[in-house]
Amino acid sequence: MVYDYHIFICTNDRVGSEKPSCGKGHGEALIQKFKLLSKSALPESKIRINRAGCLGLCAQGPVVMIYPMGWCMVNVQVADVDAILGELKQNRPLMRLLWNNTEPN
């Protein structure tokens, strides 16, 4: 199946490490919220929600990647999912979460 949108959510959990990780930062809760809301927010779109391993921006996690646009959103909270999907419906990213690639990892 070809999807209109493919959303990857980092759920990496560094067990036994003090380093930040998206799994510790509610990555699984984000998965559930995206799955719950995506069909009603974009009923005519085919959307795939997937867990992802480390996306390399651990200090700025949880991280969400949206394709085919290639948007990388950082510090995503469960409360942001509605707004992300609302902006996606308008074919634009939620700018306040869009990663600025000049930030240090």
| 24 lies in some domain | yes
Domain that holds residue 22: 5-97
Number of domains in the chain: 1
Domain containing 49 — which CATH number?
3.40.30.10
Determine which helix (DSSP H) or strand (DSSP E) holds 39, and give its type and residue range: helix 27-41
Please report, in tens digits, the pLDDT of each residue of the chain (105 residues total): 689 999 999 999 888 878 888 887 788 999 999 999 999 999 999 999 999 999 989 889 899 999 999 999 999 999 999 999 999 999 999 999 999 875 555
Residues ≥6 apart with Cβ < 8 Å to 39? 47
In a domain, 35, yes or no: yes
CB 64 within 8 A of CB 9: yes
- Specify the pLDDT at position 103: 54
Q: Residue 68: its pLDDT value, please?
A: 96
* CA nearest to 62, candidates 7, 104, 70, 54: 54
